[in-house]
Structure 1
Amino acid sequence: MKEETLRIIQPEQIQRFEKILEQKRLHHAYLFTGAFASFEMAQFLAQALFCEEKKGVFACGRCRNCRLIEEEAFSDVTVLRPTNQLIKTETIRELVRKFSQSGIEGNRQVFIICEADKMHVHAANSLLKVIEEPQSEIYVFFLASDAEKILPTIRSRTQVFHFPKSHAYLVHRLEQEGLMRQQADMLATYAQSEAEALGAAKSTSFMRSLDEVERFVKSLLNGQKLAYVQVSSLVHLADDKEKQAQILRLIEVCLAKEIMQPKAQFYLTALSKTYQMWQANVSFQNALEYMVLNRQSSF
């Protein structure tokens, strides 16, 4: 992501880092929360550290080092992601061993840990000493959707920056991808990051789920008995836990769009109970049927 784009969607954060770099006060450990362009900002700062043709304090984005960092192929910038929804302790211990080594291109090293909230607790604890007392010039960026999901001991040793979602930017990007305004608005509300939004927009199964959920919620709010029948269609689309969670989130987004309606407020409350039932291993179908049938007598 280019500097110009970051200035549009995260103007406050890029201005803060511009001052930090000008003062040469880049901290060795950061926690980026919110997930909206946080990875791109971490990469951008890594480029600023290694760029061969800087523009002021920021990277040119075109030189060999900048291109390799963007492609995740630069030897002194390590990007770590979960495997099967987990960052294992051994993976972090291997990372810790790298901390004690000098960089290949120079003395600096950058480590970007994506979805850091998925580190095993022992893995996170393995990092405490090295981020508190680094033995070499290292910079660690922890990326997580929510700061509260990170161990307090890690959180207290980092500088925390929040990356709020830019709804307007997401709607614009989705419209560029060919979505109608209403679909783009709905998807921008649902997604936590640009990558998630664009991936969902290109997913036939996701867009089909969105259409079905919109019909389902419309039936709920219109007081139609059809909503009960439509439960089976939603169940058919959600054959695993991930897709079921996706549909529950889509129902929440659709109802929230109509929050001024008393029925929408009622069903949002019912949805909370539905979610709890589902998490307690009540079948997805039974949980949804509970929400449909649990209606106020005045409806």
Structure 2
Amino acid sequence: MDDNPILRESTRLLNKLHLLSAFFEDEIVYKIYLRTQVIHRLYETNAELDINKLELFHVQFTSAVIDLLKKIKKINERNTSLLFEEIQLNKDLIQSVKDSDFNFADFNNDKQRQALRINTSLRKLYELLSADGQEYPFAKNINAFSARYAQDYFFDISTEMLGDLTAYQPAEVYTNASAVIERKLMGKACKHDFRTEFYCGLKTGNLALEVYKFIDEDTYYLFYPSRHLFLLCDAAVLNTIDQATEVTRNERIIQELLDKNDQLQSSASLARINIPQEVSSLLAENYKKITDINFLQNIAGFDAQANILKTMLNTDII
């Protein structure tokens, strides 16, 4: 019976059912495959049995099960593709945030260069004020730092706070053609040999302030690039400003996106092999019928169950 076309077709259907059972990893589907294989071998090894009944079984049952599972598989793959698209979008966003962290590394490097420019400029300003000189005291590109980094890496403050921070009495400052500096600040700068470091940047709209700290003590001052103004800055005021760093925010965003992708991946894995409960119950019922000892004798009367399976293909249940 090796060349029997009904057996060849039966083997082909068994292979399809086997692949589907492996895809869904569902116990009842695998049991149906095993039972169908038993029925196939029963007809394959017993020439006295009416092979046409095997064909009828496949027409009424196996083909309907395969078509139903294939439809579910197609729907599941469409649904999971949407989840995978969202996962990819999140990955792209994560990469974008990581790329911005490379810019933050540039910011950190340039902070140190800017502090050197400021320290050099303050030393030069001191010399000019002492000698009543009129030269330009500022290092090259002194304003470029804020212009490049303020929008992304400076902390937001109100216009009112900007006004408070930059207010001064004329009697309290030294002034020349290029700069204004608070007298007390210049005294401290001389005392500490102009050794300061960048502390943070502040911004409101397009206006920016750079805040510096003396290395040897907790004393702060600000540089207002657009006005070339230097003033001492109260540490208590700085403590009222939200100074959550860009890196901290980025790390939080990345972690949230990674957690979201883990959830989406888990959902996709489950959605990919999901069989609706109504279908699963029907398959379980059909499995019980094809394992009945009298099933082969009543195979011609399996139409009702087959029709239920076929009806499933044309409903919204799946």
TM-score, normalised to structure 2, is 0.20
Larger radius of gyration: 2
| Structure (1 or 2) with the greater helix fraction | 2
Q: Which has the higher contact order (CA 8 A, sep 6+)?
A: 2
